[in-house]
Each structure stands twice: as structure tokens, then as C-alpha cells.
Amino acid sequence: MKKIVALRTLKEHWEIPGRGDSEQQLKAWYQEAKIAEWKNSNDLKAHYKNASIVGNNRIVFNICGNKYRLVVKINYITEWVYIRFVGTHKEYDKINVATI
């Protein structure tokens, strides 16, 4: 993907006390997404079988063995990824994943 927007969101997450365990996995996800050539959600699912396609071009990734959730919005045409949310399951349950 050409551009990943809001990397700061990932960093802010792993800097929260008790969430440092997510730093390496979020960094690894970021590096993989930067070089990815996803043309559609099928391409993405071929690499991330546990990712959930939730509509409105939003995808949910499980981080740290499903301890955290990462929500991104992808524009496949422009190859932009927008990081919309990262947090615990409890925090995830409080958002509307299709509109965040």
C-alpha cells in the first residue's frame, strides 16, 4: 500500500501502560501493510485469514492472539490504509466498526 495514515494511533496504543506487548506485532503489521499489494479484500484475506471484513472497506485484524483489535479502512484504488482504531475487545465493543 502506498500510504498508511495515522501510524500515531498504533504508537499511542502500545505506549499505554500494560499494552507494550502489542508493539512488535503492530510494527510487524505496519511493515507488511506498507509493502502489500492488496487489490481487494480477497487479496488481503489470502494473507490474513483471520481478518474480518466488516463492510464499508473496513477490516478488523486480531493482534496479540486476539487480545487487541485493529480496525483499518482501505481504499484499494489509491492504495491508502487508514488506521481507525486499536484497542482491547472491551473498547472495540463500544465502537461502531462500520463507521469509525
CA torsion 78→68→53→11, rounded to 10°? -10
User: For the chain, which domains are there?
Assistant: 3-92 (3.30.2310.20)
* The pLDDT of residue 55: 85
The mean pLDDT value for 28-45 works out to 93
* Maximum average pLDDT range among 2-6, 21-25, 37-41: 21-25
Q: How high is the mean pLDDT of the chain?
A: 94
Letter string b/e over residues 33-45, b meaning 16 or more CB atoms within 10 A of that residue's CB: beebebeeeeebe
DSSP state of 72: E
pTM over 0.85: yes
Count of residues making up the chain: 100
**99: closest CA among 51, 56, 41, 52?**
56
